[in-house]
């Protein structure tokens, strides 16, 4: 006849079960908050969305949102999930690559308030900045790599392209510099495309 489990063994198993249940509840709560945040940010935009509204959508207390994510900026950075829908540049004539890409970026920026909000948040919040780096790194990097002769240069060329597009977006949508804000899209493309074309297709500076 086997000995009955010791009290300490039963307590240990109970503690592990309790921790497992708490972990599952925590994961479920985080998932509910993120789902509600994505829906609310998409519907209301970053500025109008509130922690209270997101908590109500997730059927939890607002204090729980702050407990898990700390601030609206951090929640937004975690919830942000953007597809830049970059064009297949391998099918674009080489001399039109920059015009195509710059025009596409401007349409994306103009049409997505939440992407503008992520840029604003990224200027002061490390979580948002990291999310922006991930978006551009995972989406822009492979696109540039598909058209450059030397794959080893893809990261540098993509980074230089980002300086143009993010810099322009910062001045247009965050700082709102009047001469930049007043540019029509076709004018902005005409100004930006030659520099972007050089970054993407010209020989390197050391060549």
Q: Please state, in angstroms and rounded to a whole number, the distance separating the CA atoms of residues 181 and 166.
A: 14
Spatial contact of 119 and 73, defined as CB atoms under 8 Å apart: no
The answer to whether residues 96 and 174 belong to one domain is yes
Would the pTM of this model clear 0.75, i.e. be above it? no
- The two counts, helices (H) then strands (E), for the chain are 10, 0
Query: What digits encode the pLDDT tens for the residues 42-79?
Result: 788 778 899 999 999 999 999 999 999 998 888 988 88
State residue 156's pLDDT score.
Answer: 95
CA distance 124 to 41: 19
Which candidate, 73, 65, 59, places its Cα nearest to that of 120?
Answer: 73
Same domain, yes or no: 51 and 142: no
What does the pLDDT average to over 1-19? 57
- Separation CA 95–CA 185 (nearest Å): 19
Domain boundary residue among 27, 53, 79?
Answer: 79
Give the per-residue pLDDT at 13: 57
pLDDT tens digits for range 80-124? 777 889 999 988 999 999 999 999 999 998 877 778 888 888 887
What pLDDT is recorded for position 197?
Answer: 97
Closest CA to 191 of 86, 103, 84: 103
Count of all residues that appear for the chain in the document: 207
Instruction: Note whether 129 and 194 are same-domain residues.
Output: yes
Name 24's Cβ contacts closer than 8 Å, sequence gap at least 6. Answer: none
Residue range(s) defining the domain that contains residue 54: 13-79
Please report the pLDDT score of residue 21 as a whole number.
52
Domain co-membership, 99 together with 68: no
At residue 14 the predicted structure's pLDDT band, cuts being 50, 70 and 90, is: low
pLDDT of 149 above 70: yes
In a domain, 164, yes or no: yes
């Amino acid at each position: 006849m086997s000995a009955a489990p010791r009290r300490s063994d039963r307590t240990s198993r109970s503690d592990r079960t309790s921790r497992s249940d708490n972990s599952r509840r925590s994961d479920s709560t985080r998932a509910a908050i993120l789902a509600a945040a994505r829906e609310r940010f998409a519907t209301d935009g970053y500025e109008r969305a509130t922690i209270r509204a997101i908590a109500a959508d997730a059927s939890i207390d607002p204090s729980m949102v702050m407990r898990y994510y700390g601030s609206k900026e951090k929640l937004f950075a975690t919830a942000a999930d953007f597809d830049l829908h970059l064009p297949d540049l391998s099918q674009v004539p080489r001399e039109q690559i920059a015009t195509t890409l710059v025009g596409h970026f401007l349409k994306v920026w103009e049409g997505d308030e939440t992407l503008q909000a992520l840029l604003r948040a990224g200027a002061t919040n490390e979580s948002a900045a990291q999310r922006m780096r991930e978006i551009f790194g995972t989406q822009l990097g492979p696109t540039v790599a598909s058209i450059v002769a030397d794959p080893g240069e893809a990261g540098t060329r993509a980074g230089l392209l980002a300086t143009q597009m993010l810099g322009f977006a910062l001045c247009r949508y965050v700082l709102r510099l009047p001469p930049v804000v007043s540019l029509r899209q076709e004018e902005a493309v005409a100004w930006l495309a030659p520099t972007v074309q050089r970054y993407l297709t010209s020989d390197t500076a050391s060549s």
